[in-house]
Amino acid sequence: MLLVDVSAGRPIFPDMASGLWQSFLARARLNLRETSLIEAGVFMILEVATLDVRLGMGAEFEKAFAQAQRIIASMKGYISHELRHCVEQEGRYLLLVKWETIEDHTEGFRDSKEYQQWRRLLHHFYDPFPTVEHYLPVELV
């Protein structure tokens, strides 16, 4: 059971992992934002990028991505992102980014000065260059 100091918004026990708590709060805020967008009729774009990182550079890539994610998270139209590593193929990652519109990614982000910093941090890890596609939700009835 997790006891919470409501006035401070954090666990009462100092031995609780603060990173876990911060992750929980971030996810809760994200879920509220996504729910609000969906209720408002905004159909999010899902960017799916398959990233093949040069063998032996995974840990270095993940460290660089930890920095780079702050760049993408600051962009107009950004909703959320998730980075996953492949179980079957070493060095393969999947980057999932939710955007309000496709233009927020293809024009707003890629044409920005922040994208140049993103490129400097990450692009030298890839071989071959990533495949990037965009998806809309399917409404099943």
Residue 51 inside a domain? The answer is yes
At 3-32, the pLDDT tens digits run 444 455 555 444 444 554 454 445 455 555
Residue 66 inside a domain? The answer is yes
Residue range of the domain that includes 75: 42-135
CATH number, domain with residue 78 = 3.30.70.100
At 104-129, the pLDDT tens digits run 999 999 999 999 999 999 999 999 99
- C-alpha distances (whole Å) from 61 to each of 14, 23, 43, 45, 51 are 32, 21, 31, 25, 11
DSSP letter string, 66-134: HHHHHHHHTSTTEEEEEEEE-SSSTTEEEEEEEESSHHIIIIIITTSHHHHHHHHHHGGGBSSPPEEEE
Residue 22 inside a domain? The answer is no
